[in-house]
Amino acid sequence: MTDSISALAGTDELLVALDFDGTLSPLQDEPMAARMLPEARAALDALVATPRTTVALVSGRSLHDLRVIAEHDETSPVWLAGSHGAEFWQPGAGVQDTAADAVDANLRDTLRAHAERVTAGLEGVFIEPKSFGFGVHTRTASREDAAKANAAVDAIVEAEAPHWRRRTGHNIVEYAFRHEGKDSAVAHLREAVGATGVLFAGDDVTDEDALASLGPSDVGVHIGRRDTHATVSVPDIAAFARLLRRLADERAAGLR
């Protein structure tokens, strides 16, 4: 791990692209309560201050919600990719126009209402609105109620929008009419900033597309313990924050 981080620290133009929930912030029963751990925030600040380094957050959250939980404002130098790469915010330019057309938006709202109706009696299940679809959260539901909710909503989407993309994550199933993934988000960011090396990190199944897409000059990091395409694994957010801080320190020292 040390050799790969040290090699990446010396790349000409570095992109550090990071998932948020479970990577920089602990998972929360109330998703909007998520916030970066202080040590993760400090590591990001150190990377932002390093020359020829771009930091981006790449999340399944809608761009609006990602900005809230990341405490991100118009002066931030951090790039954002929301909705698995279907929405972008660029420093100095702001939000890129990714509004849904009326037909897609109407179907989204209809299916979300149907999902809310069929899960209304299931304790611990709630439907999260998203820019291009919705998510079914079951973190605080019983296993039986979670299975009922997912089966009921799967049936609705299969019947009314079989072309939508379905993703699973930590106690959530997401449905969207946009099919972008975090692999395409990282590719877009790489091209936009001219990165010669990329560090991408995440903790969930939805991060594996991006981890699998990385090249030989990149580093993929998985937070947690499971099979992964990542080349580096760390046990928790605190350990990952230390890895980021070491990358920032080595890069700053090498570019002096």
pLDDT digits 0-9 by tens, 138-194: 999 999 999 999 999 999 999 999 999 999 999 999 999 999 999 999 999 999 999
Count of structural domains within the chain: 2
Within this chain, do residues 93 and 203 fall inside the same structural domain, yes or no? yes
Q: Is the pLDDT of residue 23 over 90?
A: yes
Please report, for the domain that includes residue 120, its CATH number. Answer: 3.30.980
Same domain, 216 and 157: no
Tell me the average pLDDT across 237-254: 96
Residue 96 has pLDDT above 60, yes or no: yes
Of 176, 193, 222, which residue constitutes the final position of a domain?
Answer: 176
Q: Which domain holds residue 191?
A: 2-98+180-254
pTM > 0.95: no
pLDDT 10s digits, 194-209: 999 999 999 999 999 9
88 and 206 within one domain: yes
187 and 76 assigned to the same domain = yes
Q: What positions carry a catalytic annotation?
A: 19
- Mark whether 82 and 110 lie in a shared domain: no
Sorting pLDDT into bands at 50, 70 and 90, what band is 2? low
Please indicate, yes or no, whether residues 28 and 91 belong to a single structural domain of this protein: yes
What is the pLDDT, as a whole number, of residue 72?
A: 97
Query: In this predicted model, what pLDDT tens digit does every residue of 33-90 receive, in sequence order?
Result: 999 999 999 999 999 999 999 999 999 999 999 999 999 999 999 999 999 999 999 9
Q: Is residue 7 located within the same domain as residue 89?
A: yes
Residues 165 and 188 in one domain: no
Asked if 251 and 53 touch (Cβ cutoff 8 Å), the reply is: yes
Residues 187 and 168 in one domain: no
Q: How confident is the model at residue 256 (pLDDT cuts 50, 70, 90)?
A: low
Residues 73 and 136 both lie in one domain: no
Q: Mark whether 122 and 64 lie in a shared domain.
A: no
User: Does the pLDDT at position 5 exceed 70?
Assistant: yes
